[in-house]
Amino acid sequence: MNNNLESITAVVKKSGEITGYELSNGQRISKEEGVNMAKNGGISGVSVSVSKKGEEYLRSLPDEEESNNLSSLPTINE
């Protein structure tokens, strides 16, 4: 694993919808910034998927560890 990559440590939600992410360096980014960073290989442990509505979003890479799933991370409500 590349130690220069950021990982997601929390999800930012507004009205139950994910609007952004908090990175391992403490920076908060929007959902769009997260997608762009992931496409450029800047975030570890996630892939980009497309919702039924056609919106791009981040998904945890499947592994044996449940605690690193985005749905298991702490939530920051805005």
Q: Mind listing the pLDDT tens digit for each residue in 51-76?
A: 999 999 999 998 777 777 888 899 99
Report the C-alpha gap between 69 and 67 in whole angstroms. Answer: 6
Q: Please tell me the total count of domains within the chain.
A: 1
Report the C-alpha gap between 25 and 42 in whole angstroms. Answer: 12
What is the pLDDT, as a whole number, of residue 4? 79
- What pTM was estimated for this model as a whole? 0.85
What is the pLDDT, as a whole number, of residue 67? 74
In a domain, 19, yes or no: yes
Share of the chain above pLDDT 90, in %: 74
Contact 10, 34 (CB under 8 A): no
In a domain, 71, yes or no: no
Contact 21, 58 (CB under 8 A): yes
Which of 1-5, 20-24, 64-68 has the least mean pLDDT?
1-5
Range of the domain at 17: 8-61
In a domain, 50, yes or no: yes
